[in-house]
C-alpha cells in the first residue's frame, strides 16, 4: 500500500512544500492562478494541480472573475492541523524542565535498573 492520497486529508495535502508555499502566498491575500505561478518557480499546469489538491481538501476556495480564477485560503481546513500540534504544545511550554531532563540523559549513560 502506497502513501495515503494527498487528497485524503489536509495533513497529506500540506506535506508538499510547494503547496505550503502556495498557502503562504495566499495567506496575504486572494490571488489568481497567474499570480501564483509567477510567485513560484513552476509551470502553470503543476500549479493548477497543486491548487486542485488544496481545493479537494478544502484548504482553498475559489471564485471566478472573468477569465481569472481567484484562490483564497480557507483557514478552517487548516485548523485541525493546528489543533493536533497543540497536543504537544505542553512539552515545549515546559522547556526549562525538558532541558534539564536532556542534560541528565546525556550525562547518565542510560544505566537503568529494572527492565520491566
Partner DNA sequence: TTGACATATTCCCATATGGGTATGTATTCT
Partner DNA sequence: AGAATACATACCCATATGGGAATATGTCAA
103 binds a copy of itself (CB under 8 A): no
* Of 76, 44, 70, 32, residue with least CA distance to 57: 76
Query: Do the strands 31-32 and 60-65 form a parallel or antiparallel pair, or are they unpaired?
Result: unpaired
Query: Which x/- pattern over 55-94 shows residues binding DNA (rule: CB under 7 A)?
Result: -------x-x-xxxx-------------------------
**Site for DNA, residues 16 to 45, rule: CB under 7 A:** 16, 18, 32-34, 37, 42-45
* Of 22, 112, 38, residue with least CA distance to 74: 22
15 binds a copy of itself (CB under 8 A): yes
- Using alpha carbons only, what angle is made at residue 49 by residues 47 and 55, rounded to the nearest 5 degrees? 105
Neighbours of 68 (CB within 10 A): 13
Q: In this structure, what C-alpha cell is assigned to residue 38?
A: 509567477
Interface residues with a copy of itself (CB under 8 A) are 3-4, 6, 9, 11-12, 14-17, 20, 23-24, 27, 63-68, 73, 75-76, 78-79, 81-82, 84-89, 91-92, 98, 105, 110, 112, 115
List contacts with DNA (CB under 7 A).
1-3, 5-7, 12, 15-16, 18, 32-34, 37, 42-53, 62, 64, 66-69, 115
Amino acid at each position: 500500500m502506497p502513501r495515503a492520497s494527498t487528497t485524503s486529508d489536509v495533513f497529506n495535502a500540506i506535506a508538499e512544500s510547494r503547496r505550503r508555499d502556495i498557502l503562504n502566498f495566499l495567506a496575504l491575500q486572494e490571488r489568481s492562478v497567474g499570480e501564483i505561478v509567477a510567485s513560484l518557480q513552476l509551470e502553470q499546469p503543476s500549479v493548477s494541480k497543486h491548487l486542485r489538491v488544496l481545493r479537494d481538501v478544502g484548504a482553498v476556495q475559489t471564485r471566478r472573475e472573468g477569465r481569472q480564477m481567484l484562490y483564497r485560503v480557507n483557514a478552517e481546513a487548516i485548523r485541525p492541523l493546528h489543533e493536533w500540534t497543540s497536543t504537544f504544545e505542553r512539552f515545549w511550554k515546559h522547556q526549562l524542565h525538558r532541558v534539564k531532563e536532556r542534560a541528565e540523559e546525556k550525562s547518565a549513560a542510560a544505566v537503568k535498573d529494572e527492565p520491566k
